[in-house]
Amino acid sequence: MVHKYSGMRVLFVASGRIGGVGHVVRNQGDSLANTGTEVDYFLIHPGLTGYLRDIPRLRRVAEQERYDIVHAHYSLSGFVATLAGCRPLIVSLMGSDIFMSGLVRVLIRFLHRRRWSATIVKTRQMSETLRIKGSFIIPNGVDLSRFRPLPMDEARKHVGLPPDKKIVILISITEKRVKNIELASAAVRQLNDPGIDFRIVRGVPNEEIPFYLNAADVMILSSKWEGSANVIKEAMACNCPVVSTDVGDAEWVMKGVRGCYVTPLSKGELSDAVRKAIILITHHRKAAHY
C-alpha cells in the first residue's frame, strides 16, 4: 500500500557537476513524488567557488520556500546545507565519502552528532569506516517498473548490438580511475575469445540502461571502491549475470545468486568469473530452447 503525505515538501541538495540532477538522486526524488510528496532540487555549481557561492543562494531558497525537510546528497552538499542553516537536515553519504581527508571525516562525525537530523549511509562498512554511530543504513533502491527482464533480441535491436555475439558490458557514467575500466578490458582480452564483444556503456540516457542490461550476456563492475552500486541491483533486476570486484555491498547483494560472481582486484580471477558466467548463461539458454 502506498501512503500519501499531503502537503509534505522536500528539497534535495546535490552536485550539479553533470549539468543536471544525477539519475540516482532523481530516482530517489521520483519515488518520493510517487507517494504524493513534493520534491524540488537545488543543484550546487561545481568547484570550491561554486560550493561557497551557493551557500547564501541555498539559504535564500530555504527561507523563502520553508521546506519540511532538506535532504543533501554527499558530504560536501551536506556542508553547504549546514552552513546555509537548513533545518531539519538529512544527509546521505555516498561511497566516496569514506575516502575523504581525515579533516573532512572528523567534520562529518561532528555534524552527524551535533547538527544533522539524520545521517544515511549505503552500507554497514561505510558506517564502521566513518565511525558514525546511529546512522541509517539505506542502500539506494531500484525502479522495478523500468529495470525488468526484456527479450534479449529486442533489447539488442533497440541499442544496435549484434545478435550473434556474446555481449559483455561495463556501465560507467564517468571516466574516473576508480571505475578501473582498464582492469575489465584486460580481463576480457585474456579470454582471447573472438566471439565476445566488450562494450563500455557511457554517455547514454539513463532510460536506455535497462535495454543494455537486457542485451548483455554479462555485466562487469571492476571498480576499486563503491558504496552500494545501484547498477548491480539494476542488472540483477534485468536477469543479467554480474561479475563484480569485492566493493561496497556487492558480496551481500549477490550472495547465493546463480550466475553472479564477486572477485578480488585481479585480472585473472575477474577473467575466469566472466568465463564462468558466459558458460552458465549459454547452457541455460540452450536448455530453455530445447
State pLDDT tens for residues 211-241.
999 999 999 999 988 888 999 999 999 999 9
pLDDT at 3 over 60: no
**Domain boundaries of the chain, sorted by first residue:** 9-137, 152-289
- Beta carbons of 156 and 185 less than 8 angstroms apart: no
Binning pLDDT at 50, 70 and 90, where does residue 207 land? very high
Binning pLDDT at 50, 70 and 90, where does residue 24 land? confident
C-alpha cell at 214: 537486457
CB half-sphere exposure, 162, CA atoms < 13 A? 10
Report the percent of the chain where pLDDT is more than 90: 67
Strand pairing category for 218-221 and 196-201: unpaired
At residue 109's C-alpha, the angle toward residues 108 and 111, to 5°, is: 65
Binning pLDDT at 50, 70 and 90, where does residue 288 land? low
C-alpha cell at 167: 555481449
Mean pLDDT of the chain: 90
pLDDT at 6 over 60: no
Range from 32-36, 231-235, 241-245, 260-264 carrying the lowest mean pLDDT: 32-36
Reply yes or no on domain 9-137 having CATH 3.20.20.70: no
pLDDT tens sequence across 59-102: 999 999 999 999 999 999 999 999 999 999 999 998 778 778 88
Partners of 121 in beta bridges: 137
pTM above 0.85, yes or no: no
**CA 288 centroid distance within chain:** 32
- Beta carbons of 15 and 74 less than 8 angstroms apart: yes
Question: What's the CA gap between 194 and 153, in Å, rounded?
Answer: 20
pLDDT at 1 over 50: no
Q: What's the average model confidence in pLDDT over 149-162?
A: 96
- Equal fold, 9-137 vs 152-289: yes
Position 76 scores a pLDDT of 93
Q: What's the average model confidence in pLDDT over 253-264?
A: 93
Position 286 scores a pLDDT of 57
Question: What's the CA gap between 261 and 258, in Å, rounded?
Answer: 8
Name the CATH topology of 152-289.
Rossmann fold (3.40.50)
